[in-house]
Amino acid sequence: MQFTEAAVKTTPQPFYVVGPTGSGKSALAILLANKWGGEIVNADAFQLYKGLDICTAKPTAAECAMAPHHLYGVLSPTELCDAAFYAELAKPLIADIAARGAVPIVVGGSGLYIKALTHGLSPLPSDEGLRRKLSHLTSGERVAWLLARDPHASETVNLKNDRYVTRALEICLLTGKKQSELRKAWKDRVPEYSGIQLAWVRDALHERINSRVNAMVAAGLVEEIRRAAELSATAEKAIGVQEIRDHLQGRMTLKDAIAAIQLATRQYAQRQVKWFRREKGFIPVEIEEDVPVSALVAKAEEVRMASVG
């Protein structure tokens, strides 16, 4: 069946391009935006920040000129951010893009930020005062109290992780219900959303990551981090910041810093892969080696067609 814009709903629905770092999401999003009359919305936690363009592999000015890009470099490096704050920025923007008849193309690899858009954040309550009171108990007492109120908690909570136990107990006490049932009800919801997951073979992805880190250093990564003064607790978590700072302070050679960045990025990519495997709404596109981007565009069109009927 030939893809036509006539087949798309009157108000375009967001289309997601997700996957691990270094998988080629940004380049594909630009092609899709041009083909569909779309606008790109960033869903990478660190590309939100100004001044970390190289470190976060932010689209270049030339790439941004190829299609409308939103939420890139919009936060001060000293500003904190989380999934809830991101959703407050992204949701009205996505709605505005769709209202103008353009296709919102959400691209990124920050799983929780994306889930804040596709599923919404968990509505389960929290209370800082209650957590302070619970902190006066021993870890064993917290586990015992949790299991007394929710016998199935051992199936849903890592009882060796005191933070998880405290959070689960907090939910039980605030709602008067079993947190295991509340969590399951939230997770079992099946929201409607459409997108693809770029799923590279591990070795090929690792090779791409290693090459990209080398290119980032050649493009001026060290100087960029040297210029980056105060960073928020969120921004300083960007891979490359601490490694290059260690190099600048003489604790690590540049060669070792590069190797450390490559390793941390590969490990992060594997966590991203695991995350998106669990998100069933994204159709995986298996990639073993560099493929014509036209093939990925065709797959994206197929997925989008299926979502609009």
Q: Is 19 annotated as a binding residue?
A: yes
Q: Is 135 annotated as a binding residue?
A: no
- 8 Å CB contact between 48 and 74: yes
Q: Is 20 annotated as a binding residue?
A: yes
Q: Is 108 annotated as a binding residue?
A: no
DSSP assignment of 125-194: ---HHHHHHHTTS-HHHHHHHHHHH-TTHHHHS-TT-HHHHHHHHHHHHHHSS-HHHHHHHHHT-----E
Q: Is 26 annotated as a binding residue?
A: yes
Q: Is 122 annotated as a binding residue?
A: no
Select from 212, 178, 287, 225 the least CA-distant residue to 51: 225
CA distance 67 to 61: 11
Residue 211 parent element (H or E): helix 202-218
CA distance 143 to 109: 34
Residue 41 parent element (H or E): strand 38-42
Token pair for 64: 């941004």
CA distance 114 to 193: 11
Q: Is 232 annotated as a binding residue?
A: no
Select from 111, 106, 108 the least CA-distant residue to 41: 106
Q: Is 234 annotated as a binding residue?
A: no
CA distance 309 to 305: 6
Residue ranges at the known binding site: 19-26
Residue ranges at the known binding site for substrate: 21-26
Residue ranges at the known binding site for ATP: 19-26
